[in-house]
A and B are shown apart, each in its own frame.
Chain A
Amino acid sequence: MTGKTLYDKLWDSHLVKQREDGTALIYIDRQLIHEVTSPQAFDGLRLAGRRPWRAESNFATPDHNIPTTKEERRLGLEGIRDPISRIQVTTLGDNCREFGIFELDMNDIRQGIVHVVGPEQGATLPGMTIVCGDSHTSTHGALGALAHGIGTSEVEHVMATQCLLQTKMKNMLIRVDGRLNPGVTAKDIVLAIIGEIGTAGGTGYTIEFGGEAIRSLSVEGRMTVCNMAIEAGARAGLIAVDQTTLDYIKGRPFAPKGDMWERAAVAWHGLVSDADAHFDRVVVMDAADIIPQVTWGTSPEMVAPITGVVPDPEKETDPSRRDNMRQALKYMGLTPGTRITDIKLDCIFIGSCTNSRIEDLRAAAAVVKGRKVAANVEMALVVPGSGLVKKQAEAEGLDKIFIEAGLEWREPGCSMCLAMNADQLGAGKHCASTSNRNFEGRQGFGGRTHLVSPAMAAAAAIHGHFVDVRDILLTLDR
């Protein structure tokens, strides 16, 4: 008998019932909740007269609609100027109170982007099944948890039954061998992976990321990689548990303590794929080949190395891809053959559930320290992922570095990653963004997004166009 993958193990340990038709009931340990995808689920419960199966397994925080300026935040709920947004955030609080669900509200220092806050609080633990009405729930797989995004009907289903109806996915292993070069980060790894397998490459799979380059990443970096598994089409990304994982979790508020910790840690050590496990697809990449990445189009797979150029659709042989590339270049206002380093930027966004953790802010601050944002950059935002990330950054003086360089230091939230709040990218403006999606209109109507790492976004802020951050890091070393 062949061994099991990590995904097989997580699936098997949560299997309540396998039905003959291939669907299965999977037990859910944790549901994370935010204001956008939950109100209709709570309404459904109310209409049917149902209560949550296990209220304490739910964990809520508002993030998508939250304003990020100090002035607005000081006013609390009243600071949300858009009345429709305010109702949504208020409704989350009302629903959590009515159904007995734990919420970190917008005035709590622990509030932040749900995918930053969950792990930070230890509400995300290895071996758990985790769901959230948000596709970037894949983030939590970085801690060896089976985590994926679900729709609102499923949010209601999990609240009412503690289970999810699922069919098992196939297993994919993406192995990144060797060591990363200096200046190359987790974000570049995952963008390079998406460039390689495409935005639908992981559809129908759970992707486990492995290899030396992945194992060498911090938990923060691993979260960046798993976060974007969904941009490769996979609902869930996974990384095996190791000492790095356990060191990250130990002592966090919701993590087990004392004797319970010892027992849990023993169990969690087994959360790795067996050496003889079978994967339906294996992709192998060499870390040494990965250099800083920049997206040029309107899908995360439209990505090029910083040393590259905007590609020519006319050279694409597949007609559907060619059409897509033409549409993308038209929207982005770019011409084939333009060097990536010649793309000028109007806006910089450092934040989102992909890249707003302390390590991301440190990387960006190291690049901008003692420099000034270029004159052509109209707006440069740094939005920490949570109140606690913000506090830590301020304790390290990172806020001052950003402010002195001319970037705005904001309050935590999803902000301009999807621009549901007031932080919006203007039409036709180019933005170097550390977020996860460069779809049309994503950061604002008509806005043009280029996905990059925090260090690359910071370097672009200083120069007003993309530059190879490796060159800057060389001068910093001197």
Chain B
Amino acid sequence: MRKFTVQSGLVMPLDRANVDTDFIIPKQFLKSIKRSGFGVNLFDEHRYLDKGEPGRDNSGRPLNPDFVMNQPRYKGASVLLARENFGCGSSREHAPWALDGYGFRIIIAPSYADIFFNNCFKNGILPIVLDRKIVNELFVQVEAQEGYTLTVDLEKQIITGPSGAPIAFNVDSFRKYCLLNGLDDIGLTLQDAGDITTFEKRWKDASPWYFGV
């Protein structure tokens, strides 16, 4: 996995609560058997005016001028500023794959749906939880100032903006460790293979009915 240490990026605001994973990447793109190629269809139903199909060339499709992503000032954004319960709904990991494919490395929101939150960390994306009040202020600042960028230092757990005091954030220590070092979960877990085997033996003796057919 890609390491995450310090990242700076242009911030794009998505002012909408309960953004679900169907919104992030519609179902027709889930037919792919690959992990990549989803970025061009991120937020497809809102970004374009017509219906997208997998495998189709997206360059000629009509863009929705009202959707924030299509405003020139947010071109190249890598920080997504979002609202409550971001990433709710389906467990599709295609959602973080699409965000990552477009170039988002950091998400800031007051809250996330659990599965999506977890999926982000598996893909080198840092989802940051900030107090709703702070998020509100960030929305005001981002909209007021063109070219608004933030720098996130994961090691120190602080966010620095163009003005004001740095903002501290919390992150689970194991997830932080994996992100900082770009570690693959499976390799780490397999270091405990002995514990797993011991557990499995004991569990099988106690509950053989789970090991039948």
Contact = CB atoms under 8 A, between A and B. Distances in A.
Contacts of A99: none
Residue among B114, B115, B177 facing the most chain A CB atoms (10 A cut-off): B114
B113 to A, nearest CB: 6
Nearest to B120: A151
Interface string A435-458: 001011110010000000000000
B3 interface: no
B209 A263 contact: yes
Contact of B189 (A43, A150, A165, A200): A165
A440 B195 contact: no
Interface string A231-253: 00101000000000000000001
Contacts of A56: 213
B27 A419 contact: yes
A82 B53 CA distance: 11
B20 interface: yes
B207 interface: yes
B160 interface: no
Interface of B: 15-18, 20, 22-23, 26-28, 30-35, 45, 51, 54-55, 83-85, 88-93, 96, 111-115, 118-119, 122-123, 172-174, 177, 185-186, 189-190, 192-193, 195-196, 199-200, 203, 207-210, 212-213
Given A153-B123, A167-B172, A440-B45, A135 B90 contact: yes
Contacts of A263: 209
Contacts of A127: 207, 210
B22 A160 contact: no
Contacts of B27: 418-420, 442
B114 A204 contact: yes
A386 interface: no
B44 to A, nearest CB: 9
A39 B84 contact: no
Interface string A144-170: 000011111110110011110101000
A88 B209 contact: no
A162 B196 contact: yes
Given A25-B192, A150-B115, A153-B93, 11 more contacts: A23-B174, A25-B189, A48-B186, A82-B31, A135-B89, A151-B122, A161-B186, A165-B174, A253-B213, A320-B84, A441-B22
Interface stretch (A14-22, A273-281, A388-396): A14-22
B51 A445 contact: yes
B16 A324 contact: yes
25 contacts: A16-B195, A17-B199, A22-B173, A22-B174, A23-B174, A37-B92, A39-B33, A64-B30, A84-B54, A87-B33, A88-B33, A125-B209, A128-B210, A135-B115, A148-B115, A157-B185, A161-B190, A162-B196, A165-B174, A199-B85, A203-B85, A437-B90, A439-B20, A441-B26, A445-B26
Contacts of B212: 254, 256, 260
Given A84-B31, A163-B196, A420-B31, A21 B91 contact: no
A97 to B, nearest CB: 16
Interface in A403-431: 418-420
Given A203-B114, A254-B213, A320 B22 contact: no
A11 to B, nearest CB: 14
Contacts of A261: 209
Contacts of B177: 21
Contacts of B16: 323-324, 327
B196 A21 contact: no
A356 interface: no
Interface in A117-141: 125, 127-128, 133-135, 137
Nearest to B193: A161
A111 interface: no
A420 B196 contact: no
A37 to B, nearest CB: 7
A341 B35 CA distance: 44
A21 B173 contact: yes
B84 to A, nearest CB: 7
B207 A267 contact: yes
Q: Which 7 pairs across A and B sit closest by C-beta, in order of nearness? A: A39-B33, A153-B122, A151-B119, A151-B93, A256-B209, A149-B91, A135-B91
